[in-house]
Amino acid sequence: MQPELDGVPDLGEVPPIFRNAPQTVEFNKLRKRLVRQVREALETFGMVRSGARWLVALSGGKDSYGLLAVLLDLKWRGLLPVELLACNLDQGQPGFPRHVLPDFLSANGVAHRIEYQDTYSVVTDKLPEGSTYCSLCSRLRRGHLYRIAREEGCSALVLGHHREDSLETFFMNLMHGGRLAAMPGKLLNDEGDVEVLRPLIYCAESDLARLASDLQFPIIPCDLCGSQDGLQRNVTKAMLDEMERQMPGRKDVMIRALGNVRPSHLLDPRIFDFASLSATDAARDAAE
């Protein structure tokens, strides 16, 4: 029996994906926190339109499993009036265990589509050995997911990026790109026909790791980009982790800062009209 969650009464049973959940206070707190944070993101960024159909990208990593679990939890509680279709893009990595995700999704009664596209060969053919694969791999994967979303009548592609992903992107843009930009909770693709949603944008990576462990998700490691050493993102992640270790709570403060922008206190005249900013005659007279 699960406790009441954010004012929603306990419904007795649990979604199949939660059948192995520990019956502990700690797990219930974790589940409640993730649901609360996702609900906040859904509301803040205006993600939900009743009756919409969402394509939920599932890689087999902890983050996308966690995304699927929380969305199913919200649907079960009657708080997410959209249709979910889980989708895994099998990119042809050598040794990829193709049976894991279809078996998991079928066992949990989750509607899904498995798409095979050998982007692995494209990436390794186009880039020299030792190159960073992330950018090209991501572009190819995203293009196929947009296509699948259109084919399936989905208005949104839903991704499992979390708090740390957004903060790492912000600092990489700050230190290497010379711009202030992060991962937003919601955006449109270039064609303007598919929304990209990130409901986990306020969720901590450590919470998603705990959820994956507690629910015994069959994690599939990435053998392409995620296994490369020396990536700038890994360096940035280590920097943020050290900052959090020395000053606990800084990550939560920083993710909130990304939603509390003061254009008049930055240096971009395109978003604030500094040229027309001047003291009024009345103010000067008063000062005199």
Mean pLDDT of 249-271: 96
Q: What is the mean pLDDT of residues 48-70?
A: 96
Residue with tokens 């392409």: 224
Are 196 and 186 in contact by the 8 Å Cβ rule? The answer is yes
In a domain, 283, yes or no: yes
Would you say residue 48 lies in a domain?
yes
pLDDT surpassing 90 at residue 224? no
What pLDDT score was predicted for residue 136? 61
Give tens-digit pLDDT for 6-24: 444 344 468 899 998 999 9
Q: Is residue 268 part of a domain?
A: yes
- Contact in structure between 163 and 141 (CB atoms under 8 Å): no
Which of 142, 141, 136, 138 lies closest to 124, judged by CA? 136
pLDDT band at 92 (very low <50, low <70, confident <90, very high): low
Host domain of residue 177: 16-287
With a CB cutoff of 8 Å and minimum separation 6, the contacts of 277 are: none
Burial of 113 (0-12, 13-18, 19+ CB in 10 A): middle
Give 276's DSSP letter.
Answer: T
Q: Which among 155, 139, 158 is positioned nearest to 68, based on CA atoms?
A: 158
Answer yes or no: is 6 within a domain. no
In a domain? residue 101? yes
> Per-residue pLDDT for 5 more than 60?
no
In which band, very low, low, confident or very high, does the pLDDT at 79 lie, cut at 50, 70 and 90? very high
CA geometry: angle at 86 spanning 147 and 168, to 5°? 80
| 202 occurs within a structural domain | yes
pLDDT of 227 over the 50 cut: no
Number of domains forming the structure of the chain: 1
Q: What is the pLDDT of residues 179-217, one digit of tens each?
A: 999 999 999 999 999 999 999 999 999 999 999 999 999
1, part of any domain? no
**Do the beta carbons of residue 182 and residue 260 sit within 8 Å?**
no
pLDDT at 76 over 80: yes
Q: CA nearest 71: which of 104, 110, 103, 101?
A: 110
DSSP states along 74-137? HHHTT---SEEEEEEEE---TT--TTHHHHHHHHTT--EEEEE--HHHHHHHHS-TTS--HHHH
User: Residue 25's Cα: distance from chain center in Å?
Assistant: 26
C-beta atoms surrounding 111 within 10 Å: 13
In terms of pLDDT, which residue wins out, 3 or 168? Answer: 168
Q: Mean pLDDT over residues 146-173, rounded?
A: 96
Report pLDDT for 142. 82
Q: Which of 226, 274, 256, 270 has the alpha carbon at shortest distance from 37?
A: 256
Is residue 67 a contact partner of residue 158, using CB atoms and an 8 Å limit? Answer: yes
Mean pLDDT score of the chain: 87
Report yes or no on 2 lying in a domain: no
Query: Quick check: 168 and 233 in contact, CB under 8 A?
Result: yes
Q: Which residue matches tokens 């989905």?
A: 154
Confidence (pLDDT) at 91: 74
- For residue 207, give the CATH number of its domain: 3.40.50.620
User: For residue 126, what pLDDT is reported?
Assistant: 60
In 3D space, the residue among 218, 128, 236, 228 whose CA is nearest the CA of residue 176 turns out to be: 236
C-beta separation of 119 from 92 below 8 A? yes
